[in-house]
């Protein structure tokens, strides 16, 4: 994914929604573009920016994250791993990009990802049985990662 993609896309989406394209919003997004696959908390985004001397207020980080993950912008995805804070990651919006689910190791707490899109039939089933139109899903699998399983076998 070229980093220009998301930055240009952000610009377009912000302007479409008549939000301002501020320096702070740009650098917050850049953190996610520069750290692909990371599930960052507001504090972590703030720390990364501090190290890059692009120090912005923590409250602004929170406000930017909220905006970027809002329905009309939808550039970030908000996720909860139950570790006491909300985390965010780049939303996968490009064609040919698969939905991904999270594999959370209950031993070492590592979070891995797993690309798959097998939930389509399940979603059709939900529509039929419950009249509920699914627009998004979040799946978390808990268990033991390969490393931890090997350590247990020793």
Q: Would you tell me which residues interact with a second copy (CB under 8 A)?
A: 71, 78, 80, 82, 86, 103, 105-106, 112, 114, 116, 118, 121-123, 125-126, 129-146, 149
Spell out, one character per residue from 56 to 95, where the chain touches DNA: x when CB under 7 A holds, - when not. Answer: xxxxx-xxx-x-----------------xxx---------
Alpha-carbon torsion, ordered 13, 17, 21, 26, to 10 deg = -40
Angle between helices 58-68 and 23-34 (to 10 degrees): 70
Helix (H) or strand (E) holding 14: helix 3-16
Copy the structure tokens of residue 40.
Answer: 């960052």
Query: How far is Cα 18 from Cα 27, in angstroms, rounded to an integer?
Result: 19
Selected range binding DNA among 35-43, 69-77, 90-98, 105-113, rule: CB under 7 A: 35-43
Binding partner of residue 66 among a second copy, DNA, none, CB under 5 to 8 Å per kind?
DNA
At 150, is the secondary structure helix, strand, or coil?
helix
**Residues contributing to the site for DNA (CB under 7 A):** 14-15, 19-25, 41-43, 56-60, 62-64, 66, 84-86
């Amino acid at each position: 994914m070229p980093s220009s993609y998301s930055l240009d896309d952000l610009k377009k989406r912000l302007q479409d929604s008549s939000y301002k394209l501020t320096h702070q919003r740009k650098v917050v997004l850049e953190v996610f573009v520069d750290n692909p696959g990371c599930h960052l908390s507001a504090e972590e985004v703030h720390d990364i920016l501090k190290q890059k001397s692009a120090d912005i207020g923590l409250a602004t980080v929170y406000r930017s994250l909220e905006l970027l993950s809002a329905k009309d912008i939808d550039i970030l995805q908000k996720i909860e791993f139950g570790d006491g804070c909300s985390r965010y990651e780049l939303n996968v919006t490009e064609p040919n990009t698969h939905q991904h689910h999270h594999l959370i190791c209950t031993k070492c707490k590592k979070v891995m990802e797993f690309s798959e899109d097998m939930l389509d039939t399940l979603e059709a089933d939900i529509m039929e049985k419950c009249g509920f139109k699914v627009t998004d899903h979040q799946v978390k699998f808990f268990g033991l990662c390969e490393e931890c399983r090997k350590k247990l076998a020793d």
